């Protein structure tokens, strides 16, 4: 059967479903690809690891078909950028090639965002920019990992030692990595070394017989979790955050405005949770989601991109960032933050904002979050010791009060920041945040002053320590 005919047949059937259900066709096509990835992933896992070439070709072919089905000939953007990045790494001096790839990938990504804003301002439609964001991370990590291969072992940190590349991969290996269907649409972005270990089977060296353990149960559990998350997606439709930018919203009681921003932004995360969990399930089914075999149990969290409960009950923005878009956070942590000499927090948040695009809401959100991170660190240093015993490890009974306040503040501030991220436009963001009198920004200023004024209590010195000092 003609593949193009098959595409048109499937798209026609999905169009009928979308029309009857009132769901945007692009979103339904995306979910369809994520769902069909499950049986394809199980079939892929049956290909023996000794047939590495076949595994590369099959994984790549499925990924390319997904891309063509969703964005048609825009798939050429990924082919062009990945090919140029490969040639830079292959033929440019290894000492500088990573910097050139970083600049090229980020500039191309930025130009893509500008184009998207020009053609579909404030809109949502499936185009190449989504997969291109994932690809940008892949290309940058690939170039940096290859550069790290010339750094002396004693100068590398543990992460660099685990991910560095000693040689440039073959074209088959590279394109297999670029287009592997697991995570191609919504992430996560794996490192090349992880992908190659998955293809040749060395990823499973800690498992019995050094073979991929059964992924049926963990895949079903992840799929079931995704269905539960779908309830939050439906509730999100009942609390559209766009209401916060209306004139009517500004006339409601202040308590309602604060509550609505908190709940509305919270529910806005569920579509992300849904997409990431759906993608993670197919990665588990294929095997690339395997991490290690420990205490007689297989751990499947390599493809985990979000940990919902630790994120929603986090007591600091650090807890949030470590559990939200986890693989992107690792990229920012290990390839941006760890490699700049000063202003690491600000530059990391700025890189994240540019990677997302150029809507003013992104910059309002990320710069507010950066200020919040610095202030929260100062407060933790100054205030937290008051709720801890002298050993700084044992919590006092009042520590529960501190934990509740830090959770509540972090949760509300997270949703306050995310409001601008979701509304995108500068005027929309200002209207929503000013409707609650910029409380979040006021809290940041007050927190900064508090962190400067309050000093942590002086610890009592133990008798043993005092004795040592006198001798």
Model confidence pLDDT, tens digit, residues 201-227: 999 999 998 899 999 999 999 999 999
pLDDT at position 373 is 87
Selected catalytic residue, list 77, 305, 356, 415: 356
The list of the chain residues with pLDDT below 50 reads 1-3, 462-471
Residue found by looking up tokens 């059964």 in the block? 214
Delimit the domains of the chain by residue range.
3-200, 217-453
The CA distance from 250 to 253, in Å, is 8
pLDDT at position 2 is 47
Cα–Cα separations (whole angstroms), residue 59 to 36, 111, 189, 278: 13, 29, 15, 18
- What is residue 299's three-state secondary structure? strand
pLDDT at position 464 is 44
Please state the pTM of the whole predicted model: 0.89
325 is a catalytic site residue: yes
Selected catalytic residue, list 277, 325, 334, 415: 325
pLDDT at position 4 is 53
157 is a catalytic site residue: no
Planar angle of CA 446, 311, 433, nearest 5 degrees: 45
Model confidence pLDDT, tens digit, residues 141-179: 999 999 999 999 888 999 999 999 999 999 999 999 999
pLDDT at position 237 is 85
**Closest to 416 (Cα-Cα) out of 355, 352, 372, 450:** 372
Alpha helices by DSSP H, listed for 315-462, are: 317-323, 326-335, 344-356, 360-383, 399-423, 426-434, 439-453
């Amino acid at each position: 059967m003609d593949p193009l005919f098959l595409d048109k047949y499937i798209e026609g059937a999905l169009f009928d479903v979308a029309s009857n259900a009132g769901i945007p066709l692009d979103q339904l096509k995306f979910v369809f690809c994520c769902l069909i990835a499950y049986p394809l992933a199980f079939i892929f896992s049956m290909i023996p690891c000794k047939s590495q070439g076949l595994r590369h070709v099959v994984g790549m072919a499925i990924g390319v078909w997904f891309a063509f089905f969703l964005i048609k000939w825009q798939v050429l953007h990924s082919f062009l950028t990945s090919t140029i990045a490969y040639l830079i790494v292959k033929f440019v001096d290894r000492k500088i090639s990573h910097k050139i790839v970083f600049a090229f990938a980020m500039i191309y990504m930025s130009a893509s965002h500008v184009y998207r804003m020009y053609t579909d301002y404030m809109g949502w439609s499936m185009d190449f920019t989504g997969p291109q964001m994932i690809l940008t991370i892949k290309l940058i990590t690939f170039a940096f990992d290859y550069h790290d291969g010339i750094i002396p072992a004693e100068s590398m940190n543990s992460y660099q030692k685990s991910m560095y590349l000693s040689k440039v991969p073959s074209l088959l290996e590279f394109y297999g990595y670029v287009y592997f269907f697991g995570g191609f649409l919504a992430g996560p972005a794996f490192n090349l070394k992880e992908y190659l270990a998955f293809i040749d089977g060395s990823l499973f060296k800690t498992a019995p017989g050094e073979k991929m353990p059964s992924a049926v149960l963990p895949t079903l559990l992840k799929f079931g979790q995704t269905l539960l998350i779908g309830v939050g997606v439906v509730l999100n439709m009942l609390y559209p955050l766009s209401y916060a930018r209306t004139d009517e919203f500004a006339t409601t009681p202040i308590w309602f405005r604060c509550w609505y921003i908190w709940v509305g932004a919270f529910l806005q995360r569920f579509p992300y949770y849904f997409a990431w969990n759906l993608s993670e399930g197919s990665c588990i089914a294929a095997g690339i989601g395997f991490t290690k075999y420990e205490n007689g149990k297989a751990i499947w969290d390599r493809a985990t991109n979000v940990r919902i409960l630790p994120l929603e009950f986090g007591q600091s923005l650090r807890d949030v960032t470590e559990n939200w878009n986890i693989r992107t956070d690792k990229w920012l942590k290990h390839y941006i933050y760890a490699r700049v000499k000063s202003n690491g927090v600000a530059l990391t948040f700025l890189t994240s904002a540019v990677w997302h695009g150029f809507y003013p809401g992104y910059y309002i959100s990320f710069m507010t979050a950066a200020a919040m991170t610095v202030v929260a660190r100062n407060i933790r240093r100054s205030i937290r010791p008051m709720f801890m015993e002298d050993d700084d490890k044992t919590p006092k009974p009042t520590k529960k009060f501190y934990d509740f306040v830090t959770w509540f503040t972090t949760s509300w501030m997270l949703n306050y920041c995310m409001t601008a991220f979701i509304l995108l436009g500068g005027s929309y963001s200002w209207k929503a945040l000013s409707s609650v009198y910029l409380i979040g920004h006021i809290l940041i200023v007050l927190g900064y002053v508090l962190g400067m004024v309050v000093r942590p209590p002086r610890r009592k010195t133990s008798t043993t320590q005092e004795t040592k000092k006198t001798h």
